[in-house]
Chain A
Amino acid sequence: MQETQTTPSLSIPSRSSISTPDRSSSVGQASSTGPQPSKPPAIAPPVKPKGRSSGAGVRRMRRIIAEDTEWSLAIVPLLTELCIQHIVKNFQNDPILKQLHPEHQKKVLSHLPPDLPLAVTANLIEDENYWRRCCVQRWPVCHVDEHGGSWKRMFFELHLEKLLKHFIPGTTDPEGILSLLPLCRDYVRTIRVDQFLPPVQLPPAPRSGDQSDSGSEGEMEEPAVDHYQLRDLVAGLNRLEELDLVYGVKDCGMNFEWNLFLFTYRDCHSLAAAIKACRTLKVFRLTRSKVDDDKARILIRSLRDHPALEELDLSHNLIGDRGARAAAKLLSHSRLRVLSLANNQVRAPGAQSLAHALAHNASLVSLNLRLNCIEDEGGQALAHALQTNKCLTTLHLGGNELSEPTATLLSQVLSINTTLTSINLSSNHIGLDGGKQLLEGMSDNKTLLEFDLRLSDIAQESEYLISQALCANREAARQRAPNPSHFMSPITAKGPENPAG
C-alpha cells in the first residue's frame, strides 16, 4: 500500500517540474545567484551542554573535586575532536580523509561544508550524505530516483546540466566545462539539457523587431548560430548512458527570434559524431528541436549498428517519410527497444517502411507514432506487420487519421498476437463498425492490458465492453504475476509519458 502512495507523490513534482518551466527556471536562478550558507556549521562539541544540564553527570564527570568548582572534564574537548575540527577547517588545502579511522571519517564528512571546491571533493568523497547536503543546498527540489538513487551522481549531473544550459558559445570559456570532465567522468550517466543558448550577436537589439516578423532572415546567419559542440564532453564521459537534448531557448519571452530555435547542420553533424563515438549510450532523446528529414537521417545513420542504444526519441520534430524510412532501417541494424516519433510528419509511406522493418524485428518493444498522419494505408501496413511480430508490446497510434479498415485488420491482430499489452488508438475516426470489430478481436485476446479508444467515434457500448475485457485481462495478469505491484506498474509507467502533450 505504501508503494502506491509514494509513487504518485514522487511523480507529481516531476510532472510539475517539467510541465511548468517557470519553476525549474526559478531553480536555476536561485542556484545561479550563488550558494547561500543555509545550514550553520554545528561543530560545537555535543557533550558540553549535556554535561551542564545534568548535575549528576557533572558529579560523575569531575574526577578532581577541588577548589575550582567550575572545572569539569567535559569542558575540555577531546584531542580527536580538535583534530577533526582542524581537518575540517583546512580540508580545502589539505584533504585528509582516507587515512582516518572510519568513525572519524564519518565525523569529518558530517562537518564538511558543502561548498568546497569540486576539484578537492569530487574524487575523494564517496559519502552520500555529504553529496546529499550539497544537492539540497543548491537545488530546492531533488529527485534522487531520476539519477539512479545516487546523490553524488545527481550532483554532478545537475551541475553539468546547469553549465551546459548557460553556456554561450563564443563568450563562455569551453574549458570551464572540459575542466570539470576529469572530476565528473565516472559519475555522470545522464545528460538532460533542455536549452542550448545561441552565440551572442552584437546587433540583435535593433533588428529584433524586424526579425520577429519573418524568420527568413535568420537562415542567412545560420553558420553563426551554432550551439555548444557536445563532442568533446561526450567523448570524455565514459559512463554516459542517456542523452536528452532540446535545441531551443527557454524563457525568451518577448525576445523571441526564430533563430533561437535553430538546430543547425553543424550542430547536427557534431552531435551525430558525438553519439557515434559514445559506445555506452543507451538512451538518446532529441525533442522539440526542429529536426527535419535530412538531419534525422544524419543522426540515425550515425546510430546504425550502435552497440548499446536501446531507446531513440525524436518526438516533436519535423521528420517526414524519409526520416521514418531511415528509422526503419535503423530498426533492422540495431537493438533498439523503444522508438518514438511522436508528433512528426510521418505519412503512409514512412509508416509502411516502419511496418516492413517491424515485421522482422525481434527487439523493438515500444513504438510511438502519435500525432502523425499515417492514415489507413500505414495503419494497415503496421497491422500486417504485427501479425508476424512477436516482440512489440506497446503501440501508440493516436491521432493518425485511422479509420475502419485499420480497425478490421487490428482486430485480426488482436486475436492472433499474444505479446501486445498496450495499444492507443485515440483521436482517430474508427467509427461504429470499426469499434464492433475491435470488440470482436478483443474477445479472443487475453494479454492486452490497455486499449485507448477515446475520441475515436466508437459506440459507447463497445468501448465499455472493451474496457470490461481489459479489466478481466488485467485481473488475470495480476493473478499470473505473484507481485501485487504489477498491476500498478503500467499506470505508473504511463505517468511520465502523458504530460509531454
Chain B
Amino acid sequence: MNPPGSLGVQEDKEEEHLSTPILEPSVHSDNPQERIQARRLRIAARLEARRREALGEYLDGKKETEEDQSKSYKQKEESRLKLTKLLLCGTELVTNIQVAADIRETHRRVEEEEIKRQRLEKLENEVKTSQDKFDEITVKWEEGKQKRIPQELWEILNTQQVHCAGLIEEKNKLISELQQELKTKDDQYVKDLKKQADDICLLLERMEEQVKSVMKTFRQELHHIEKAFEVERQELLTSNKKKWERALQAHNAKELEYLMNRIKKVEDYEKQLNRQRIWDCEEYNMIKIKLEQDVQILEQQLQQMKATYQLNQEKLEYNFQVLKKRDEESTVIKSQQKRKINRLHDVLNNLRSKYNKQIKQFQEENQSLTSDYKRLVMQFKEMQKAMRHFALIDDKQFREIWLMNEEEAKDLISRAFDVDRIIHTHHLGLPWTAPDFWFLKNVGPISQQQHKSATQILEEVLMQAEEEKAEEAASESESYLELPKQVSAKTTRKILMLLCDEAGFLIEGKLLSLLQPLEKNERYLLRLDAVFSALGIETEDDLYKLVHFFLKYQAHRSPPIQMSPWYLRLEQTSLVSALEPQELLGLGGGEGSLAEGEPPGKEPLCSPLLIHPNDVLKILEAFVMGLRKPRDLRAPAKLLKVARDDSKDSEYWKALSTVIPAATLSLWDVLYTALEKYHLILTQRAELLIENRSLEQQNTELQQLLQQYLDSKINTQLQVPPTQVFRVPTK
C-alpha cells in the first residue's frame, strides 16, 4: 500500500546499519572488552526481536513504522482523505440536483394528484348540479307543455332559455377554466422544461466544475505528495550525502594511512631484497661448486651403472630365453591338458549316457518285476483258492475214508462183540453185557464238538423252539444235557429275545434293513449274531455265562421265593417235557399266549417280565465288563483250532482196536486152548464114534453072518450046533 513508506523504513534501516559501526561496539574490534560488549548487545537484540515476533507484534511494528513514516506517508493519507471527501462532496453536490428534482417531482406529483382529485370532485359536483338543473329544466318543459296561455308559455320559455343559457354558461365557464388550467399547465410545463434545462445546465456545470476541481485537487494533491516525496528525498539525499562525505573522509584518512604504511613497507622490503640478493649470490656459488662435484661423482656412477647395465642386459636376455622355452613347454602341456580334458569330457558324457541307460533299464526291470510280482500274487491267490478247495476236498475225503474205516472197524467190533457174546452166552454160559464206550457212538472224524460257537447254540436254541413242535423232547433234553447249569432252552430263548429287542442299537442300521425280508427266526438269529459279535460273545460258554448272569442278576434282584418255583418249574418242565411232548408243544408254539390260562404256561412268562427291559442294558454292561478279562487270554488260542487236532485220532483208533479188553482176550485164549482140547477130544470121540459105528456095523454084520450061519441047515446038520455053544446077545 505504501511503497514509499516501506522504502523510507528501508532507508531508515540502512541508516541504522550505517550508523551502527560508528556508534556501537563492533564485534570485529581489537579491544576484547568491546567485543564482549558487542556480542552481549547482539544477543540482547536478538532476544528482543524474538520476543516481539512471539507476541505477534505485527501491528506494533506497523505502528512503529507509521510513527517513523515520513511526511510523504502522512501527506498521502491526508490527501487521500481530502480527495475522498472532495469526491463525496462533489458527487453529493452533483446528485443534489437530482435529489432536488426528485423531491420536486414528488411534490409535483402529490400536488398534481390533489389537484386532479379536486378537479374530479369539482367536475363531479358540476355534473351533479348541472344534472339537477337539467332535470329542473326538463321538468319545466313538462310544465311548459301544460301551459296553454302563450304569455305564460313565452315566459316559461324565456326562463327556460335563461336557465339553459346559465347551464351552458356554466359549462363554458368550466371549459374555460379547464382550458385556463391547461394553459397554466402548459406554461408550467414550459417552465418546468426550462427549469429542467437549467437544472441540466447546472448539472453539467457542476459536473464540469467537479471534474475540474477534482482534477485540480488531484493535481494539487499529487503535487503535494510529490513535493513531500521530493522533500523527503532531499532530506534523505542530504543525510546520505553527509554520511557519504563522512565516510569518504574516514576513507581518505585511512587511505593516507595505508599509503604511508605501504611506503614504509616498500622501503623495508627493498632493504630485505638487497640483503637477500647478496646472500643468494653467495649461496649460488657454493651450490654451483657443490653441484659440479656432484656431477663428477654422478658421471662416475653413470659409468658404473652402464657396466652393470650391460651385465644385467645379458642376464636378462638369458632369462628371457629360458622363459621362452618354458613358455613353449607350458603351451605344450597346456595343449595336452586340453586334450585330456576333452577326453575326460567324452568319458563323462559316455558315463552319463550309460547312467541314463541304466536308469531306464532299471526302471524297465522294476516294471517287469512289479508285473511279475503282481502275477505271482495272483498266482498265490489262485493257489490259495486251490488249496482251500483241496482242503475242502481233503476234508471230505478224509471224512469219507474215516467213515469207511470206522464202519469197517465197527463191523469188526460188532462181530467181535457178537463173538464175545456168543462166547459168553454159549460157551461160558455167562451173562454178556455189551460194553459201553464213547467211541462206539462216534460217527465221523473227531472234531471240536465240545466248543460250539455261540451262534450255533443260538441256532440250535431257536431251531429247537421251532422243532420242538415236531421233534421229540428227548433230543432236546439230550442236547441240553450239555448245558452246565441245566438252564432250560426256553429261558435262554426268552433272555435272548429280550436281549435282541433291547440291544438293537448294537446292530448296524444296514443290517437291519437287510434283515427285513427274512423270516422271524432267522431275523432273530442274525440280529443276535450281530449283537453277540458286538458284545464279544463267541463261544457257547460265553453265551451260557451270559444267560447265567442274567438269571443271577434276576435272582439277586427278586426275592428267592419267587425265584424257586420258577426254577422248579423249569426243572419240571424240562423233565416233564420228556414225558409230555404235547404239553410242551403247546407251550413252545404259543409262546405263552395260547397257554395263558394254564398255570405252567404262566410261570415261564414271568421270567422276561421279571427282568425289566430297562435293566437289560445295565446287566449287559456289567457282563461285558466281567467278560473282557478272560477273553483276552483266549484270543490267541483260537487261531490254532483251525488246524485239525489229530492227536485223538490214534487214540480213537487204538481204542477201537482194543474194544475187546485183554482179560477177555486171555479168556479167549484159554477158551481157545480148552476148546482146542475139547475139539481134539471131540474129534477123538468122533473118530471113536465112527469106529464104534463101524464096529457096531461089523458086529451086526457078524451077527447077521452068525445068524445066517446059525440059521443055516448046516448047523442043524451039525452034531452040536454052535448056537448051543454060545448065547446070542440080545441087544
User: Which residues of A does B touch, CB under 8 Å?
Assistant: 1, 4-5, 8-9, 12, 15-16, 19-20, 370-371, 373, 398-401, 426-427, 452, 454-455, 474, 484, 487-488, 491, 494, 498-499, 501
Tell me which residues across on chain A come within 8 A of B247, comparing CB atoms. none
- Contact residue among A1, A20, A400, A498 (Cβ-Cβ distance under 8 Å from B204): A20
Tell me which residues across on chain B come within 8 A of A484, comparing CB atoms. 1
Q: How far is the CB of A490 from chain B (nearest CB, A)?
A: 10
Docked-complex contact B83 and A398, CB < 8 angstroms: no
Tell me which residues across on chain B come within 8 A of A5, comparing CB atoms. 215, 218
Which residue in chain B gives the minimum CB-CB distance to A342? B102
- Contact residue among A1, A398, A400, A488 (Cβ-Cβ distance under 8 Å from B99): A398
Docked-complex contact A491 and B87, CB < 8 angstroms: yes
Docked-complex contact B101 and A15, CB < 8 angstroms: no
Docked-complex contact A19 and B200, CB < 8 angstroms: yes
User: Could you give, for residues 373-415 of chain B, a 1 whenever the CB lies within 8 Å of some chain A CB and a 0 otherwise?
Assistant: 0000000000000000000000000000000000000000000
- Taken together as a complex, chains A and B put the C-alpha atoms of A20 and B203 apart, in Å, by 11
- Taken together as a complex, chains A and B put the C-alpha atoms of A427 and B104 apart, in Å, by 9
Which residue in chain B gives the minimum CB-CB distance to A1? B222
User: Could you give, for residues 186-203 of chain B, a 1 whenever the CB lies within 8 Å of some chain A CB and a 0 otherwise?
Assistant: 000000000000001001
Docked-complex contact B218 and A15, CB < 8 angstroms: no
Q: How far is the CB of A477 from chain B (nearest CB, A)?
A: 12
Docked-complex contact B102 and A427, CB < 8 angstroms: yes
Tell me which residues across on chain A come within 8 A of B97, comparing CB atoms. 501
User: Could you give, for residues 72-86 of chain B, a 1 whenever the CB lies within 8 Å of some chain A CB and a 0 otherwise?
Assistant: 000000000001100
Q: How far is the CB of B211 from chain A (nearest CB, A)?
A: 5
Docked-complex contact A19 and B204, CB < 8 angstroms: yes
A/B pair count, beta carbons within 8 Å? 72
Q: At the interface with chain A, which of B88-96, B348-356, B429-437?
A: B88-96
Which residue in chain A gives the minimum CB-CB distance to B107? A427
Docked-complex contact B103 and A399, CB < 8 angstroms: yes
Question: Contacts A373-B109, A426-B102, A427-B99 known; A491 to B92 CB distance under 8 Å?
Answer: no
- Taken together as a complex, chains A and B put the C-alpha atoms of A491 and B210 apart, in Å, by 14
- Contact residue among B83, B102, B211, B218 (Cβ-Cβ distance under 8 Å from A399): B102
Tell me which residues across on chain B come within 8 A of A427, comparing CB atoms. 99, 102-103, 106
Q: Which residues of chain B from 286 to 312 have any CB-CB distance to chain A below 8 Å in the complex?
A: none
Docked-complex contact B204 and A16, CB < 8 angstroms: yes
Tell me which residues across on chain A come within 8 A of B1, comparing CB atoms. 484
10 new A-B contacts at CB < 8 Å, known A1-B225, A9-B215, A455-B99 = A1-B218, A4-B218, A15-B207, A371-B102, A371-B105, A373-B106, A401-B106, A427-B103, A455-B103, A499-B207
- Taken together as a complex, chains A and B put the C-alpha atoms of A4 and B109 apart, in Å, by 39
Q: B578 contacts the other chain (Cβ, under 8 Å)?
A: no
- Taken together as a complex, chains A and B put the C-alpha atoms of A16 and B211 apart, in Å, by 12
Question: Contacts A15-B207, A16-B204 known; A370 to B102 CB distance under 8 Å?
Answer: yes
Q: B161 contacts the other chain (Cβ, under 8 Å)?
A: no
Q: B475 contacts the other chain (Cβ, under 8 Å)?
A: no
Would you give 24 A-B contacts (Cβ < 8 Å), ordered by A? Answer: A1-B225, A4-B218, A5-B215, A9-B211, A12-B208, A12-B211, A16-B204, A398-B102, A399-B105, A401-B106, A426-B99, A427-B102, A427-B103, A427-B106, A452-B95, A454-B96, A455-B102, A455-B103, A488-B87, A491-B88, A491-B91, A494-B91, A498-B94, A498-B98
Tell me which residues across on chain A come within 8 A of B688, comparing CB atoms. none
Docked-complex contact B84 and A498, CB < 8 angstroms: no
Which residue in chain B gives the minimum CB-CB distance to A501? B98
- Taken together as a complex, chains A and B put the C-alpha atoms of A501 and B207 apart, in Å, by 14
Q: B110 contacts the other chain (Cβ, under 8 Å)?
A: yes
Q: How far is the CB of A357 from chain B (nearest CB, A)?
A: 25
- Contact residue among A4, A8, A498 (Cβ-Cβ distance under 8 Å from B95): A498
- Taken together as a complex, chains A and B put the C-alpha atoms of A426 and B105 apart, in Å, by 13
Q: B359 contacts the other chain (Cβ, under 8 Å)?
A: no
Q: B237 contacts the other chain (Cβ, under 8 Å)?
A: no
Tell me which residues across on chain A come within 8 A of B83, comparing CB atoms. 4
Q: How far is the CB of B196 from chain A (nearest CB, A)?
A: 10
- Taken together as a complex, chains A and B put the C-alpha atoms of A491 and B214 apart, in Å, by 13
Q: How far is the CB of B76 from chain A (nearest CB, A)?
A: 9
Q: How far is the CB of A272 from chain B (nearest CB, A)?
A: 30
- Taken together as a complex, chains A and B put the C-alpha atoms of A370 and B101 apart, in Å, by 12
Q: How far is the CB of B55 from chain A (nearest CB, A)?
A: 21
Docked-complex contact B214 and A8, CB < 8 angstroms: yes
- Contact residue among B92, B101, B207, B222 (Cβ-Cβ distance under 8 Å from A12): B207
- Taken together as a complex, chains A and B put the C-alpha atoms of A491 and B203 apart, in Å, by 17
- Taken together as a complex, chains A and B put the C-alpha atoms of A474 and B215 apart, in Å, by 23
Tell me which residues across on chain A come within 8 A of B218, comparing CB atoms. 1, 4-5
Which residue in chain A gives the minimum CB-CB distance to B196? A501
Q: B100 contacts the other chain (Cβ, under 8 Å)?
A: yes
Tell me which residues across on chain B come within 8 A of A12, comparing CB atoms. 207-208, 211
Q: How far is the CB of A371 from chain B (nearest CB, A)?
A: 6
Tell me which residues across on chain B come within 8 A of A1, comparing CB atoms. 218, 222, 225
- Taken together as a complex, chains A and B put the C-alpha atoms of A304 and B97 apart, in Å, by 37
Tell me which residues across on chain B come within 8 A of A15, comparing CB atoms. 207
Q: How far is the CB of A111 from chain B (nearest CB, A)?
A: 38
- Taken together as a complex, chains A and B put the C-alpha atoms of A16 and B208 apart, in Å, by 10
Q: How far is the CB of B178 from chain A (nearest CB, A)?
A: 14
Docked-complex contact B215 and A19, CB < 8 angstroms: no
- Taken together as a complex, chains A and B put the C-alpha atoms of A37 and B32 apart, in Å, by 87
Question: Contacts A19-B203, A371-B105, A499-B203 known; A401 to B110 CB distance under 8 Å?
Answer: yes
5 pairs of A and B residues whose beta carbons are closest in the complex: A427-B103, A501-B98, A399-B102, A427-B102, A399-B106
Which residue in chain A gives the minimum CB-CB distance to B76? A1
- Taken together as a complex, chains A and B put the C-alpha atoms of A330 and B715 apart, in Å, by 215
- Taken together as a complex, chains A and B put the C-alpha atoms of A455 and B96 apart, in Å, by 9
The CB with the most chain A CB atoms within 10 A, among B98, B207, B222, is that of B98
- Taken together as a complex, chains A and B put the C-alpha atoms of A201 and B172 apart, in Å, by 36
Tell me which residues across on chain B come within 8 A of A488, comparing CB atoms. 87
Which residue in chain B gives the minimum CB-CB distance to A484? B1
Q: How far is the CB of B563 from chain A (nearest CB, A)?
A: 109
The CB with the most chain B CB atoms within 10 A, among A371, A487, A501, is that of A501
Which residue in chain A gives the minimum CB-CB distance to B101? A501
Tell me which residues across on chain A come within 8 A of B95, comparing CB atoms. 452, 454, 498
Docked-complex contact A487 and B84, CB < 8 angstroms: yes
Tell me which residues across on chain A come within 8 A of B109, comparing CB atoms. 373
Tell me which residues across on chain B come within 8 A of A398, comparing CB atoms. 99, 102
Question: Contacts A484-B1, A498-B95 known; A8 to B211 CB distance under 8 Å?
Answer: yes
- Taken together as a complex, chains A and B put the C-alpha atoms of A398 and B105 apart, in Å, by 11
User: Could you give, for residues 236-276 of chain B, a 1 whenever the CB lies within 8 Å of some chain A CB and a 0 otherwise?
Assistant: 00000000000000000000000000000000000000000
Tell me which residues across on chain A come within 8 A of B87, comparing CB atoms. 488, 491
- Taken together as a complex, chains A and B put the C-alpha atoms of A223 and B101 apart, in Å, by 36
- Taken together as a complex, chains A and B put the C-alpha atoms of A399 and B102 apart, in Å, by 6
Tell me which residues across on chain B come within 8 A of A455, comparing CB atoms. 99-100, 102-103
- Taken together as a complex, chains A and B put the C-alpha atoms of A233 and B653 apart, in Å, by 148
Q: How far is the CB of B181 from chain A (nearest CB, A)?
A: 15
- Taken together as a complex, chains A and B put the C-alpha atoms of A494 and B214 apart, in Å, by 16
Tell me which residues across on chain B come within 8 A of A19, comparing CB atoms. 200, 203-204
Docked-complex contact A498 and B211, CB < 8 angstroms: no
- Taken together as a complex, chains A and B put the C-alpha atoms of A373 and B105 apart, in Å, by 11
Which residue in chain B gives the minimum CB-CB distance to A467? B88
- Taken together as a complex, chains A and B put the C-alpha atoms of A491 and B225 apart, in Å, by 23
- Taken together as a complex, chains A and B put the C-alpha atoms of A454 and B203 apart, in Å, by 17
Tell me which residues across on chain B come within 8 A of A501, comparing CB atoms. 97-98, 101-102
Docked-complex contact B92 and A454, CB < 8 angstroms: yes
Tell me which residues across on chain B come within 8 A of A491, comparing CB atoms. 87-88, 91
Tell me which residues across on chain B come within 8 A of A400, comparing CB atoms. 106
- Taken together as a complex, chains A and B put the C-alpha atoms of A427 and B100 apart, in Å, by 7
The CB with the most chain B CB atoms within 10 A, among A9, A12, A487, A494, is that of A12
User: Could you give, for residues 214-225 of chain B, a 1 whenever the CB lies within 8 Å of some chain A CB and a 0 otherwise?
Assistant: 110010001001
Tell me which residues across on chain B come within 8 A of A373, comparing CB atoms. 106, 109
Tell me which residues across on chain A come within 8 A of B101, comparing CB atoms. 501
Q: How far is the CB of A428 from chain B (nearest CB, A)?
A: 8
Tell me which residues across on chain A come within 8 A of B102, comparing CB atoms. 370-371, 398-399, 426-427, 455, 501
Tell me which residues across on chain B come within 8 A of A452, comparing CB atoms. 95, 99
